[in-house]
Amino acid sequence: GTRGQVTGIDDLPVRDELRGKSPYGAPQLDVPVRLNTNENPYPLPDALVERIAERVREAARHLNRYPDRDAVELRTRLAAYLTDTTGHEVSLADVWAANGSNEVIQQLLQTFGGPGRTAIGFEPSYSMHALIARGTGTGWISGPRRPDFTIDLPAAERALAEHRPDVVFITTPNNPTGNAVPRETVLALYDAAQAVKPTMVIVDEAYVEFSHGASLLPLIEGRPHLVVSRTMSKAFGAAGLRLGYLAAHPAVVDAVQLVRLPYHLSAVTQATALAALEHTDTLLGYVEQLKSERDRLVAELRAIGYRVVESDANFVQFGLFDGAGGSHAAWLRILDRGVLVRDNGIPGWLRVSAGTPAENDAFLDAVRELKKEQS
């Protein structure tokens, strides 16, 4: 027939490095309590929803035109947010924005990675770093972590010397483990990488607003190869908006413009993000609530008898599930009770996002029962 003999991806002339691979796939299941993708559980407040509608209505009048290609107003507001919250002054020229920090990372790898180049991450970490590397033709190196999920600096330095990567990812707080990387470790990794050759170091701070510690953003001063990437998906409670951004030396901002698609940020996205930034104070109020719920999850999980990794994020990694079926069986038992958590494929461990107090109670009830079953 006209559809030929093609029955699936493997019958198509796809690039070799994509053969046999699966797409990023956190299950989107319709269950009562969804604590699996580190979203903010609070819907946007009514006043903000109204403001978004107003801003988008205004933008809609001009949709016959392409949007501001340089997103100047938005980047200026993001720079003001970063300056206000870190005490380190950044401006328009230091900030770039894209459709989620995934796109920011993709643009960085298109610019500084690519065929014949490599990137390293210290795993387990955010799985999309490796997937975006693959998609951009960048070789991926899995760097080491200790069994307690901290970064082993001497081992990391050896990996940098051995593999000579072009890009280094440091996720802090780390996903899925939740722990932050100490400032001194980031500085040491930056210096160790530069000692081998000029290397871009991307500090992924998607969860930094939930951290007990401070943002590493001030480190961009005098370090032109350091990039801090951020997102409005978590602290701003706007995962559906798709808005990520970075702060770095203005030369880095100029460089990523070599690969960004023209008009990549729609006028609707820019208008919505600007409205959300007008409500920063309200949205950051939810962050405080989520931090205390996160701390409660850590304490209660420990009281029930689980092991927990110290968390600086809006989620908690807990275990150990080393009995029959391991973490996947435990994931299913929790799902049976209407609660969706995340199995990241790290043997023995699962990850739960901090939800509303009621959602967290439902989760804690489920894992309390699981503990009884398993002991």
Q: Applying CB under 6 A, which residues contact ligand PMP? A: 38, 100-102, 126, 171, 175, 204, 206, 231, 233, 239, 244
Give every CB contact of residue 71 below 8 A, 6+ residues apart in sequence: 97, 265, 270
Report the residue number, 145 or 333, with the smaller CB distance to ligand PMP.
145
Report the residue number, 333 or 351, with the smaller CB distance to ligand PMP.
351
Least separation in angstroms between residue 102's CB and ligand PMP is 4
Report the residue number, 234 or 333, with the smaller CB distance to ligand PMP.
234
Report the residue number, 37 or 194, with the smaller CB distance to ligand PMP.
37
Look up tokens 């001194």; give the residue: 184
Sort strands 167-171 and 118-122 into parallel, antiparallel or unpaired.
parallel
Q: How many residues are listed for the chain in this entry?
A: 375
Report the residue number, 323 or 345, with the smaller CB distance to ligand PMP.
345
Least separation in angstroms between residue 70's CB and ligand PMP is 20
Least separation in angstroms between residue 51's CB and ligand PMP is 21
321 three-state secondary structure: coil
Contact 300, 361 (CB under 8 A): no
Least separation in angstroms between residue 101's CB and ligand PMP is 3
Least separation in angstroms between residue 26's CB and ligand PMP is 8
User: Which of 111, 101, 99 lies closest to 225 in space, CA to CA?
Assistant: 111
In the complex, which residue's CB is closest to ligand PMP?
100
Which of 191-215 are b and which e, b meaning 16 or more Cβ less than 10 Å from the residue's Cβ? Answer: ebbeeeeebbbbbbbbbbbbbeeeb
Q: Going edge to edge, which strands form the sheet with 167-171?
A: 95-98, 244-247, 226-231, 200-204, 167-171, 118-122, 139-143
